[in-house]
Chains A and B, each alone.
Chain A
Amino acid sequence: MEKGGTIGVEKRMRKERGMAGSNEVNLNECKTVVPLNTWVLISSFKLAYNLLRRPDGTFNRHLAEFLDRKVPANLNPVDGVFSFDVLIDRATGLLCRIYRPATAEEPEPNIVELEKPVVGDVVPVIIFFHGGSFAHSSANSAIYDTLCRRLVGICKAVVVSVNYRRAPENRYPCAYDDGWTAFKWVNSRSWLQSQKDSKVHIYLAGDSSGGNIAHHVAARAVESGIDVLGNILLNPMFGGQERTESEMRLDGKYFVTLRDRDWYWRAFLPEGENRDHPACNPFGPNGRSLEGIKFPKSLVVVAGLDLIQDWQLAYVEGLRKAGKEVKLLYMEQATIGFYLLPNNNHFHTVMDEISEFVGSDC
Chain B
Amino acid sequence: MLRYDSTSSSAGSSSGSLSSSSSSSKPPQQDIDGLLAGAGYKVRSSELRQVAQRLERLETAMGNSPADFSQLASDAILYNPSDLVCWVDSLLTEFAEPPPTCSSDFIVDPVNNQTVVNSAWTTAEPHTPQVHQNITYDEQQSLDNQLTVVTAMEEDSGIRLVHMLMTCAECVQSGDLSLATSLIGDMQGLLTHVNTVCGIGKVAGHFIDALSRRIFQGMGGGSVNGGSAFENEILHHHFYEACPYLKFAHFTANQAILEAFDGHDCVHVVDFNLMHGLQWPALIQALALRPGGPPLLRLTGIGPPSPDGRDSLREIGLRLAELARSVNVRFAFRGVAASRLEDVKPWMLQVNPKEAVAVNSIMQLHRLLGSEQTRNSPIDTVLSWIRGLNPKIMTVVEQEANHNQPGFLDRFTEALYYYSTMFDSLEACRVQPEKALAEIYIQREIGNVVSCEGSARVERHEPLAKWRRRLSGAGFRALHLGSNAFKQASMLLTLFSAEGYSVEENEGCLSLGWHSRPLIAASAWQAVPAWDNHMSSS
Contact = CB atoms under 8 A, between A and B. Distances in A.
A39 interface: yes
Interface size class of B (residues with CB under 8 A): 35 or more
Given A54-B71, A60-B70, A65-B490, A47 B121 contact: no
Contacts of A72: 12, 17-20, 516-518
B30 interface: no
Interface of B: 1-4, 9-13, 17-24, 33, 35-36, 38-41, 43, 45, 48-49, 51-52, 55-56, 58-59, 62, 66-67, 69-71, 73-74, 78, 81-82, 84, 87-88, 91, 105-106, 121, 124-128, 130, 144, 147-148, 159, 162-163, 166, 413, 416-417, 483, 486-487, 490-491, 499-500, 502-505, 515-518
B55 A40 contact: yes
B121 A71 contact: no
Contact of B66 (A50, A62, A70, A93): A50
Contacts of B36: 37, 40-41, 341
A129 B73 CA distance: 28
Given A60-B74, A62-B486, A71-B13, A142 B516 contact: no
A149 B11 CA distance: 9
B70 A55 contact: yes
Which among A48, A52, A70, A169 has the greatest number of chain B C-beta atoms within 10 A? Answer: A70
Nearest to A35: B35
14 contacts: A31-B52, A37-B33, A40-B36, A47-B59, A47-B91, A58-B126, A60-B74, A72-B516, A72-B518, A73-B516, A75-B21, A146-B39, A341-B36, A342-B3
A251 to B, nearest CB: 14
Interface in A43-74: 43-44, 46-48, 50-56, 58, 60-63, 65-67, 69-74
A119 interface: no
A66 B69 contact: no
Contact of B4 (A31, A73, A111, A342): A342
Contacts of B87: 44
B503 A55 contact: no
Interface in A243-261: none
Given A31-B52, A40-B52, A56 B121 contact: yes
Contacts of A76: 21-24
A43 B505 contact: no
A74 B11 contact: yes
Given A52-B70, A90-B144, A351-B2, 4 more contacts: A63-B73, A69-B41, A84-B20, A90-B148
Contacts of A53: 70
A36 B49 contact: yes
Contact of B486 (A55, A66, A143, A341): A66
A342 to B, nearest CB: 5
Given A37-B33, A63-B483, A342-B4, A74 B147 contact: no
Interface residues of A, number: 72
Nearest to A86: B515
B12 A79 contact: no
Contacts, number: 207
A150 B81 CA distance: 25
A72 B402 CA distance: 15
B232 to A, nearest CB: 30
Contact of A112 (B48, B82, B166, B500): B166
B35 A51 contact: no
A352 to B, nearest CB: 7
Given A40-B84, A65-B490, A73-B20, A58 B413 contact: no
B70 A154 contact: no
B148 to A, nearest CB: 6
B420 to A, nearest CB: 8
B69 A50 contact: yes
Contacts of A352: 1
B2 A61 contact: no
Given A60-B74, A69-B82, A145 B88 contact: no
B393 to A, nearest CB: 21
A78 interface: yes
Given A50-B70, A76-B21, A44 B159 contact: no
A50 B62 contact: yes
A235 B526 CA distance: 46
Which among B38, B56, B163, B515 has the greatest number of chain A C-beta atoms within 10 A? Answer: B38
Contacts of A351: 1-2
A140 B513 CA distance: 13
Interface string A313-343: 0000000000000000000000000001111
